[in-house]
Structure 1
Amino acid sequence: MADKGAEPTIRDVMVLLTAVSSRLQCLETKMSVMDSIEKRMENFENDMKRLWVVHEDRAKKVEERVLRLEDKVDGVDIHAAELVERVQVLVKERDTLREDVSYLQSQSMRSNLIFTSVPEAAGSDIETPEVTEAKLRQHLVSAFKLTQEVATSLRFERVHRSPGSPTPGKIRNIIAKFSFFKDREMVRKMWKELDGTEYRVFEQFPPEVVMRRRQLVPKMKEARRLGKRAYLAYDTLYIDGNPVRA
C-alpha cells in the first residue's frame, strides 16, 4: 500500500475492494446460515404449535374421560351402597330364617329327651327300637326311681339310639320322643336322682341352640355361685328374672 499522505493507487483500491468483497461474502455466508436458522426456528415454532394443539386436544379428551369416569364412579358408589344395604337386608332375612328354622326344629324336639350311658347291645348285634325302648323303661325304674307301673304307663312316639353304627367302648345315647309333654317334664325334673351316677338326661335342641346354651352355662354357674337364681330356658339364660342371651 502507498505511504501515508500519498494518493491511493488502483492496486490499493483493488486490495481494499477484495477485502471488502471477502468480508461481504463472509457476511452473506453468515446471513444464509441465519436464514437457515430462522427457517428452522419457524419450523420448530410450527411443530411446537402443532404439538400444543395435539396436547390441548388430548388434554381435553382426557378431561372428558375423567369426567365420565367420575360420573361412573359416583354411579358405582351409589350402586355399591345399594348393594351393601341389600346384603344387610339379606343377612337379616337369613338370620331370621335361621331363627325360624331353629325354632321349628326345637318345637319338633319339644317332647324329646336324651339319655346317656344306658348300655346297648354289645358286639355286632343290632339293637332294635323295641329293645331300646325296653332298656329305657328299665333305666327309668333303676336310675330315675320310677315305679314299674309308672314306667310301663309312659307312652313314646319313638325311642332310638343316636345315629351311627355301634362303636366298641362307646355307648350311643338314647333319644326318646314322649307322646305327652307332661310325661316328658315329669321325667326331666327327676334329673337330681342321677346325681352321683354316670347317667345324665338332657333336653334335645338344634345344634345352633345347643351352641348358645353352652356359651351361657359358665355364666349360669357363676351366677349360682354368687347365690343368684339362674336357669336356662331354650337359648336364653335368666338371672334373677333378667334375660341374658349369648
Structure 2
Amino acid sequence: MAEKGAEPTNRDIMILLQNVSGRIEVMEKKMGAIESIEKRMGTLEKDINKLWVAMEERVQKVDHRVTRLEDKVDGADIHAAQLSERMQQLEKERDTLRDNVSYLQSQSMRNNLIFTGVTEDNSTGNEPPEVTERKLRQHLQDAFKIAHEVVDTIRFERVHRSPGSPISGKVRNIVAKFTFFKERETVRKLWKELDGTLYRVFEQFPQEVIEKRRKLVPQMKEARRLGKRAYLAYDTLYIDGTAVKA
C-alpha cells in the first residue's frame, strides 16, 4: 500500500480493485443463493397453497359426510322411537288379545267343574264317557251328599277324563260340563262336604288364569290369616272388597 501523503501507485489501485471485485463476487454468490431460496420459497408457497386447497376440499367433504350421517342418525333415532312406540302398541294389543282369548276360553269353561280322586277303570284302555258319567253321578251322591233323585235330574253336556293316555295306577281327573250354570254352582258350593277326604272339586280356567290365581293364593292365605275377608274370583283377588291383580 502507498505511504501516507503519497499518491497510490497502480499496484495499489489494482490490489484495491481486486479486493472490491472479490467482495462483489461474494455478494453476487450470496445474492444468487438468496434468489435460489426465494424460488424454493415460492415453490413451497405454491405447494402449501395447493395443499391448503386440497385440505379445504377434504374438510368440506368430511363436513358433508358428517352432516349426512347426523341426518341419518337423527332419522334413525326418530325411526327407532317410532318402532319402539309401535312395539309398545303391538305388545298392548297382544296382551289385550291374550286376555280376550283367555276370557273366551273361560266363558267356554264357565259351566265346567273338575273332580279329583274318582276311581278310573283304565284296565282296557280309555274309560268310556258313559262309564265316567255314571261314576260321577255316584260320586255326587256319596261324597257330596246329594240326594239320588236330585243327582238324576242334573244334566251334563259332556263328562270325560282329563286329556292324555291312561296310566296304570294313576287316576285322571274328571271334567264335567254342566248344561246349566245353576246346577254347577249347586255342586260347587258343596265343596266343604269333601273336607277330610281325598276328593276335591275345582272350577276350570285357562292356563294363563290358573297361573295368575296361583300367584295370588299366598296373598289370599296371608290376608285370611290376618282375619280379612279374602277370596279369588276369576283372575282377581279381593281383600275386604279391594281388588288385587296378579
TM-score clears 0.5: yes
Map of 1:37 onto structure 2: 37
Secondary structure of the residue that 2:132 maps to in structure 1? helix
Letter in 2 for 1:148: H
Letter in structure 2 aligned against 1:180: F
What SS class does the counterpart of residue 59 from structure 2 fall into?
helix
**TM-score under structure 1 normalisation?**
0.88
Match of 1:94 in 2: 94
Shift of residue 169, structure 1, vs aligned partner: 4.1
Structure 1 Cα separation of the partners of residues 106 and 221 of structure 2: 24
Give the alignment's TM-score, normalised by structure 2: 0.88
- After TM superposition, give the deviation of residue 213 of structure 1 in Å: 0.8
Aligned to 2:132: 132
Work out whether 1:66 is the aligned partner of 2:66. yes
Offset of residue 125 of structure 1? 2.5
Find the aligned partners of 1:240 and 1:191 in 2 and give their Cα distance: 23
Contact kept, 8 Å, 1:114 with 1:203, in 2: the verdict is: yes
Partner of residue 234, structure 1: 234
CA displacement, residues 158-194 of structure 1 (integer Å, 9 cap, x when unaligned): 1111111123443221111111111111111111111
Q: Does residue 56 of structure 1 match 2:56?
A: yes
Aligned length: 245
Conserved? CA contact 1:124–1:166, under 8 Å? no
Unaligned runs of 5+ in 2: none
- Partner of 1:227, secondary structure, is coil
Give SS of 1:125's match. coil
Against the structure 1 CA distance between its residues 140 and 35, is the aligned structure 2 distance closer, same or farther, given a 3 Å change threshold? same
Is there any run of 5+ residues in structure 1 with no aligned partner, and where? none
Tell me the distance in 1 between the aligned counterparts of 2:173 and 2:12.
Answer: 140
- Give the letter for the 2:225 counterpart: R
Q: Which amino acid in structure 1 is aligned with residue 222 of structure 2?
A: E
Q: 1:106 to 1:10 in 2, by over 3 A?
A: same
SS at match of 2:158: strand
Q: RMSD in angstroms over aligned alpha carbons?
A: 2.3
Report what 1:213 is aligned to.
213
Identity %: 67
- 1:36 to partner: Cα distance: 1.8
Could you say if the C-alpha distance between residues 150 and 4 of structure 1 is closer, same or farther in structure 2, counting changes exceeding 3 Å?
farther
Distance between the aligned counterparts of 1:111 and 1:138, measured in 2? Answer: 20
Is 1:119 the equivalent of 2:141? no
Q: 1:49 to 1:131 in 2, by over 3 A?
A: same
